[in-house]
Amino acid sequence: MSPSNQLVNSFESRIKPLLEVIYPEADIEQLAAHLLQLLHPHCSDSGEENPDKWNEQQILLITYGDSIYRQGDQKPLVTLKQFLEHYLQDTITGVHILPVCPYSSDDGFAIIDYLQVNPELGSWEDIKSIAQPFDLMLDLVLNHVSSKSAWFEQFKQGLKPGCNYFIDVDPTTDLSQVVRPRSSPLLVKVDTVNGEKHVWATFSDDQIDVNFANPDLLVEYVKILLFYVVNIGANYIRLDAVGYLWKCIGSSCIHLPETHVLIRLMRELLQLVDPGVVIITETNVPNRENLSYFGNGNEAHIIYNFSLPPLLLNALLQGKSEHLKTWMMSMPPAPMGCAYLNFTASHDGIGLRPAEGLLSDDEYETLLECVTQFGGEISYRRQPDGTESPYEINIALFDAMKGTVKGEDKWQIQRFICSQTIMMSLEGIPAFYIHSLLGTGSDRALMQQTGRKRSINRHRWDIEELERELEQVNSPHAIVFRELSRLIQIRRLQQAFHPNATQYTLHPSNQALLVFWRQSMKRDQSIFSIHNLSDKPQTLPLLKLNLIATDKWYDLISGQNISDIHDTFKLQPYQSAWITNKFGKDS
Integer Cα distance of 583 and 587 in angstroms: 6
Give whole-number Cα distances, 464 to 70, 72, 468, in Å: 7, 12, 6
Handedness of CA 445, 118, 239, 96 (dihedral sign): negative
Strand positions, DSSP E, 520-560: 526-532, 538-541, 553-555
Handedness of CA 23, 27, 28, 34 (dihedral sign): negative
Q: Would the annotation count 348 as a binding residue? A: yes
Integer Cα distance of 380 and 269 in angstroms: 37
Contacting residues for 98 by C-beta, under 8 A, at least 6 apart: 62, 63, 64, 65, 107, 108, 139, 347
Q: Would the annotation count 34 as a binding residue? A: no
Integer Cα distance of 320 and 512 in angstroms: 4
Is residue 298 exposed (0-12), middle (13-18) or buried (19+ Cβ within 10 Å)? middle
Residue 457, amino acid: N
Residues 209, 240, 399, 535: which is the catalytic one? 240
> Is 240 a known active-site residue?
yes
Handedness of CA 157, 158, 159, 162 (dihedral sign): positive
The CA-CA-CA angle for residues 209, 212, 218, to 5°, reads 120
Q: Would the annotation count 61 as a binding residue? A: no
3-class DSSP assignment, residue 505: strand
Per-residue b or e along 256-276, where b marks 16 or more CB atoms closer than 10 Å to that residue's CB: bebbbbbbbbbbbbbbbbbbe
- Cβ proximity of 435 and 345 under 8 Å: yes
Pairing of strands 135-141, 144-146: unpaired
Q: Which long-range contacts (CB under 8 A, 24 or more apart) does 401-407 make?
A: 401/316, 402/374, 402/375, 403/317, 403/370, 403/373, 403/374, 404/316, 404/317, 404/318, 404/319, 404/370, 404/535, 405/317, 405/318, 405/319, 405/366, 405/370, 407/373
Q: Would the annotation count 144 as a binding residue? A: yes
Q: Would the annotation count 239 as a binding residue? A: yes
Residue 394, amino acid: N
Q: Would the annotation count 106 as a binding residue? A: yes
Q: Which long-range contacts (CB under 8 A, 24 or more apart) does 73-79 make?
A: 75/120, 75/121, 75/122, 75/123, 75/126, 76/120, 76/121, 76/122, 77/117, 77/121, 77/122, 77/123, 77/126, 77/127, 77/130, 78/122, 78/126, 79/463
Residue 407, amino acid: G
- Residues designated as active site: 240
Q: Which residues line the annotated binding site for substrate? A: 106, 144, 238-240, 347-348, 454
Annotated binding site: 106, 144, 238-240, 347-348, 454
